[in-house]
Structures are given as structure tokens and as C-alpha cells.
Structure 1
Amino acid sequence: MRIQLKTVLDCEPDVAWRALRSPAALQEIYGPVLAMKPVADLPTMWQATTAEVALSIAGLVPTGRQRIDISFDDDRADGVRILVDDGKPLSGPLALLGSWRHRMAIAPAPHDQGKTLYRDRLDIGGAAAPALWFPLWTVWQWRASRLAELAPTWAYDPEIAAVDEDGGEEFAAGDGAEGGAER
């Protein structure tokens, strides 16, 4: 079974890609409703790696553990960058699923310069998938609203002021990203 999400985010694609690769941004997207506590230290930025997190509702009600197994498809000719999570729920209600594959894609928004087309696809399988599809679909709709809310806070850092020929200061956008999760 499949859950899909497609939305335009109010930030540059490079900024969205950096946020998507940030475990801190992921925690912020799900917070405060769903808390993710790493079992071991998480990197500052996802690399091709495997990690485990404990999930809980509002940090109070344990809901299980999830293995996150990250890989990337980010060297495509069409410029689309994809983060793939082939992990799986290890315990809790979602562990009843037989399969889990989560793909998140970032691309420039067509006809909307400076914005990002974000596509999100979760494929689940197993006997419990029909029963868990609607609750997961509901979470994905909420996730879309959180992404839309947080994306404008993911912005480029300004460069250090440069002095122009008249002795006045000029400012230009830098290439580092910061946002709610990176502050």
C-alpha cells in the first residue's frame, strides 16, 4: 500500500535538501506530538547510515522503536535529490507491518522560482498494512502541514558584511542553511 504527499515548500531546494538530511529537523517536524529519541548519537547530517530511534507520543507514551536505514539518490541528471529510508519499525504497533520504504524527493518547484517541490512516498506491506494505512495517511497529512510551516524558517545564513567601493556595507546571501532545527 502507498501513501503519497506532494507539496511546494517556501524555501530554496538546497535549503530543503539540507533540512531533509538533518536529524534535528526531522525531530522538529514530528515534535511536539511525536518524540524521537536516538538510541545512540545521531550525526549532525544524515549520511548513508543506519540508526535506531525510540518513538513516543509527546515524549510520554512509548510507541516503539524504528530502525532508520538511509541512502541517497542525489546524483540524477534531472536534478531531483532523493533520500531513501529502507529501515523498519522494530517494535510497537508499526512493527506489525511486513515492509517499509520511505522516499523523500526534493526538486525546484516548476513555475515557482525559489521554492521547492517536495514529494514523499511511503510504501508499506504485510497483513497489518490495510489497518495501519489510514492512521499513517493522517500522520502524513499532518507532516505536510508541519513541513509547510517550518520550511520558511530554513534560510541561508547571511555572509559577513563586505565593504563596497563607497565605504558602505553590502550584504549577500551565503550558502549555509539554518532553520528551526539548526539554530
Structure 2
Amino acid sequence: MRVLLKDILDCPPDAAWRALRSPAVFREVSSPVVSVESRGADGFPTVWEPGEHPVGLNALGLVPMGEQVIRLTMETTRKDGVRILRDTGRGVSGALASVTLWDHRMAVAPDPAGTGKTLFRDQLIFRTGALTLAGWPVFWALWQWRMRQLKRLAPTWQLDLGVDLPADLLAEADASATADADAVSRVTE
């Protein structure tokens, strides 16, 4: 089965991309419907990296749903500027172990209307054997909640110089800041 959502987020694409790679944002957009705890030895990283990340999930923070492995890959080199975060993880225990296929892709691109905002696409393809059809309304409702949370949070996402800017733009920003500082010091001497 498939759940597919598309909307415009009120933030620049670089800020949206950074937010998608944040475990804190992942937890916030899922909350309070699903609470997520890291099962990794060092807890959640500051920024998701490609690879496997074990987690435990609870419905409404109370009912254990089981454990799953989030398996992330990132595609950032497309010529059209689209960046994709993909999770092809798997359920390990509890109700999550019934999920036999999990392919979740989130894509970030500049708004085609040229607003400076982000075109966000979110697709989940899943299978749970005989329960797939029954599971679709649950996943659909959860994805609606997540999109609502993403839209609510997006205007608060800011760029972080040095993290979000490509190296060439960062070098230009550093050169400009150094020139400004030199000019100020000459004036104050």
C-alpha cells in the first residue's frame, strides 16, 4: 500500500533538508501520537547519518509498539536539486515486526513557483501481509499528523551558517565577514 503527500513548507529548502536529518524533528513531528526512543548505545545523533539506527516506539507514549531499525540513505546529487532521505528499515519486534516492506522517502526541492519555500513530498510504501489493507488507514492518519506538524514547525527552521551553506558560499560569507571586520578595525583605530 502507499501513502503519498505533497505540500509547500514555509522555509527554505536547505532549512527543510537540515530538519529532515534531525532526530529531534523526527521525534517532534511524531509526538504525541508515537513516541520514539533510541536503542543505540550513544542515543540519537545530532544529525542522522546514512546507516542503521535502532529505535523503540510507543503509541501515545504508553503502549509499546515494538522495536525497529531505521535504515537511512540520502540522495543529494541530483541535477534537479531534489534531495531525498530514504528509510528502508524493518520492524524487529512487537507489532512492528509484522511490517514486511517499508520504503519511506521524503523529498525536498525548491518551490517551483519561486517563492523561496520548499516543495516537500512524502511517500510511504508498506506491506504487512494479510493486514496491509487494515493498516492503511492507520498509516494514512499518522502521515496526515506528521504533515500537519511539519507545516507547523517549518517557519521556525533556520539555516545554520557553516552547516547548511555549500562550501563555496561559506567561503564567500567568511571572506565578506573578514572584510567587514577589517573595515571596522581600521575605522576604530
TM-score (norm 1): 0.83
Q: How does 1:10-25 map to 2 (within 5 A)?
A: 10-25=10-25
How far off its partner does 1:149 sit?
A: 0.3
Equivalent position to 1:146, from 146, 149, 164: 149
Superposed CA RMSD in Å reads 2.2
Query: Does the alignment pair 1:137 with 2:174?
Result: no
Would you say the 8 A contact 1:49–1:71 is kept in 2? yes
Q: More helix by proportion, 1 or 2?
A: 2
How far off its partner does 1:61 sit?
A: 1.9
In the alignment, what sits opposite 2:96?
94
**Which structure is larger by alpha-carbon Rg, 1 or 2?**
2
How far off its partner does 1:111 sit?
A: 0.6
How far off its partner does 1:89 sit?
A: 1.8
* 2-structure distance, mates of 1:100, 1:157: 32
Secondary structure of 1:15's counterpart equals helix
* 2-structure distance, mates of 1:156, 1:82: 18
Letter paired with 1:150: L
* 2-structure distance, mates of 1:165, 1:50: 49
Equivalent position to 1:128, from 125, 131, 138: 131
Deviations 1:44-92 (A, max 9, x none): 1111110111101232221111210000111111110001100012223
Secondary structure of 2:81's counterpart equals coil
Letter paired with 2:13: P
Secondary structure of 2:130's counterpart equals coil
Query: Does the alignment pair 1:118 with 2:135?
Result: no
Unmatched segments (≥5 aa) in structure 1: 168-183
Letter paired with 2:87: D
Would you say the 8 A contact 1:98–1:127 is kept in 2? no
* 2-structure distance, mates of 1:70, 1:37: 17
Letter paired with 2:106: M
Unmatched segments (≥5 aa) in structure 2: 162-172
In the alignment, what sits opposite 1:106?
108
Runs of 4+ in 1 over 3 A off after TM superposition: 161-167
Secondary structure of 1:56's counterpart equals strand
Deviations 1:105-132 (A, max 9, x none): 0000111422000001101123221110
Would you say the 8 A contact 1:10–1:116 is kept in 2? yes
In the alignment, what sits opposite 2:168?
none
User: In 2 relative to 1, CA 94–130 (structure 1 residues): closer, same or farther, beyond 3 Å?
Assistant: farther
Would you say the 8 A contact 1:108–1:114 is kept in 2? yes
Would you say the 8 A contact 2:67–2:96 is kept in 1? no
How many percent of aligned residue pairs carry the same amino acid?
48
Letter paired with 2:3: I
